[in-house]
Structure formats: C-alpha cells, structure tokens
Amino acid sequence: MTERKLRKLILGSVPFETDRLIVRYINNNDVYDMYEYASVPEVSKYLLWEPHVNIAATEGYIESLQKRYYRGLYADWAIELKGENKMIGTIGYANINSKDKSCEIGYVLSPKYRKQGYMSEALSALLQLTFESLKFDKAILRIIDENSDSVKLAEKMGFTVETSIEIPIKGQLKNVLYYTKTKNEAVV
C-alpha cells in the first residue's frame, strides 16, 4: 500500500466508536476540555511536552493538529465521552512506518477519568483498527519506566517489552521502555 493510500485509509477511519467513547478529530470546541487536563503538570510528567501555560498554548496545539489533518497526516484524535460532548484525552499514531507496517501509538487521559477503563477501551479500538483495517504487523508504545499506570495498561493490553533505552527527556536521563504488540497476538 502506498503512503498516500495509507494516510487516506487512516483519515477515513475516524471517527470510530466504542461502547462509551467516540474517537474523532479534535476541533476548536475542544480547547477548554483539553486545557483542563493539559495544563496540569501531573499529566505531562512522563511525556515529551510541557504543561500548557495558558489557553493560547492549547489553541495553538489544536491549530497545528488541524493543519496536519488538512494535509492528510495522522495525528492525535479526541477521546470523547459518548452523550456528554466532553473530550477527556487523546489517542493516535505518533509515528507510522509503512515499509515495515508498524506504528507507534500515543495517548493521554485527563486525571479525572483515569482508572475507569476509558483508555483500555480506546486503545483496544485503536488496536483493532491498526491490525484489522490497516493491516499493520506491529504496534509500539514508548513509556518512561516511572509511569507505572501506563506500564500496567500496556501489559494488560498484551504488549511486551522489546527493549529499553536511556534518553534525555526534559533535561534528565530517563529509562524508556519500548513495548510492542504484533498482529499475531490477540487484540484485547
């Protein structure tokens, strides 16, 4: 499959739904919901980005996402609670390698909605899209080993550690675990 066809297929796969969630494109109406969690230091503690310092930072990020959508590129998508019109986090492809049919998945969830199974539900749906519709062979999660909640989620979803590498993140050396799951492993 060509890169162009793959991008078109990915973009055409959104929105998709689970029992409790809608995964969809992020739009300008999401700015306050996103800022609500993206401004909390705890949320980005184990991520590459810093907390949003003001609403303008969130508006700028949403604008950059919309440009990616317009150009036909993959990006983060909103995780919305069905029936509540409330964005509670994001999930999407951080990287795609069409040659080796692999992808890296990234996600973030508002602390108010953690430990309720929402991210498991969203990740399960994205894995189904990844392996069944897009026909990828491997999905990857990069997780700082101190992020115990994300480590638990990865292992619950059937990912296994392939390797670990120490890399500088926000001025400190961090041990990053590379979790993988292949299409031959059952989708949770």
CATH number of 19's domain: 3.40.630.30
183: in domain: no
Query: How many Å apart are CA 55 and CA 71, to the nearest integer?
Result: 25
User: Which tokens belong to 4?
Assistant: 């162009």
Note whether residue 157 is domain-resident: no
Residue 186 is predicted with a pLDDT of: 54
Residue 79 lies in a domain: yes
User: What is the arithmetic mean of pLDDT over 83-98?
Assistant: 92
**pTM, full prediction:** 0.92
**Residue 150 is assigned to a structural domain of this protein:** no
Grade residue 148 by pLDDT with cuts at 50, 70 and 90.
Answer: very high
In-domain check, residue 172 = no
- Give the chain's mean pLDDT: 91
Q: Quick check: 13 pLDDT over 80?
A: yes
Q: Is the pLDDT of residue 78 over 70?
A: yes
Mean pLDDT for 177-188 is: 82
pLDDT of residue 72: 78
In terms of residue numbers, what domain contains 17?
Answer: 3-136
How many domains, the chain?
A: 1
Percent of the chain past pLDDT 70, that is, above it, reads 98
Report whether 75 contacts 68 (CB < 8 A).
yes
Is 178 domain-assigned?
A: no
Q: 168-183 burial by CB neighbour count: b if 16+ within 10 A, else e?
A: eeeeeeeebbbbbbeb
Residue 85, in any domain of the structure: yes
Using pLDDT thresholds of 50, 70 and 90, give the confidence band for residue 11: confident
Residue 52 lies in a domain: yes
pLDDT of residue 73: 78
SS3 173: strand
